[in-house]
Amino acid sequence: MSKINVTIWNEFRHEKQNEGIKAIYPEGLHAAIARGIAADDLNIRLASLDEPEHGLTDEVIQSTDVLIWWGHCAHAEVRDDIVAKVLKRIHEGMGLIVLHSGHFSKIFKAVTGCSGSLKWREAGEKERLWNIAPWHPITQGIGEYFELAHEEMYGERFDIPRDAEIIFLSWFEGGNVMRSGFTLERGYGKVFYFQPGHESYPNFYDENVLRVIGNAVRWAKPVFFREMCAPCYPALEEIRSVDTAPKAAVLQNADGTNK
């Protein structure tokens, strides 16, 4: 069985600049996710913002089956040309999983066509995530709901596409609710957004969060890769109803340009 090539991308700024966050994720939250979802069928590599080409060289993008994305304070620093390459590869079949504050990333906005705007509050409140699609591959092994003791509140209205399939709904202790997990298809690629994962809380060690991410990787793996294009397609059968009517004449100006 061939392995799924997973690239986990992380800004990797908070863990370097804030001692409290570094204590939670000393090697970066991308490393914590990698350890948490590690399995025999996954080939995982890490990439981060401050590496050359943000760690997303052409070779990395072309050889990635599923890209996991976490960003927060430096969305604007991500190069537009690299975002364009990632988006093209998603259209060709690569899976994309966007986590937490990645809702404001360039790639999230590009792939959804939406602003990703929402309400937020950092008060360390309890979050209850309801599994409203128990049949979906991403929710397998998750009960009717699970709870996180502390998480940043993200609340409605969340600006996401109307064709999003909602599979998780969240309630927060302060009273807000959110469509906290949804899927999309873009081109030949599959996309999943999942809300938990604020850097100040150790939720990337939570068993349920990691199970959801692992399930999402397997759901989002490509069936195939194929370039999106618009070719002039040859007829499969003989065309007998050829239009022989005279074509309308094109009127021209004195200089030869069309009127």
Domain at 121, CATH number: 3.40.50.880
Residue ranges of the alpha helices (H) in the chain? Answer: 14-17, 19-24, 29-37, 58-62, 80-92, 106-112, 207-220
Has residue 110 been placed in a domain? yes
Q: Cα(32)–Cα(230) distance, rounded to whole angstroms?
A: 42
Strands 177-186 and 145-155: unpaired
pLDDT per residue as tens digits for the range 85-134: 999 999 999 999 999 999 999 999 999 999 999 999 999 999 999 999 99
Has residue 243 been placed in a domain? no
Please measure the distance between the N-terminal and C-terminal CA atoms of the chain and give it in whole angstroms. Answer: 62
Global pTM value: 0.91
Q: Residue 126 corresponds to which tokens in the numbers above?
A: 């309890």
Has residue 257 been placed in a domain? no
Nearest CA-CA partner of 128 in 166, 183, 178: 178
Has residue 244 been placed in a domain? no
30 has pLDDT over 80: yes
Domain count, the chain: 1
Task: Tell me which residue range forms the domain holding 63.
Answer: 4-220
**Least confident window among 30-34, 72-76, 149-153, 248-252:** 248-252
Nearest CA-CA partner of 186 in 145, 215, 155, 228: 228
Has residue 44 been placed in a domain? yes
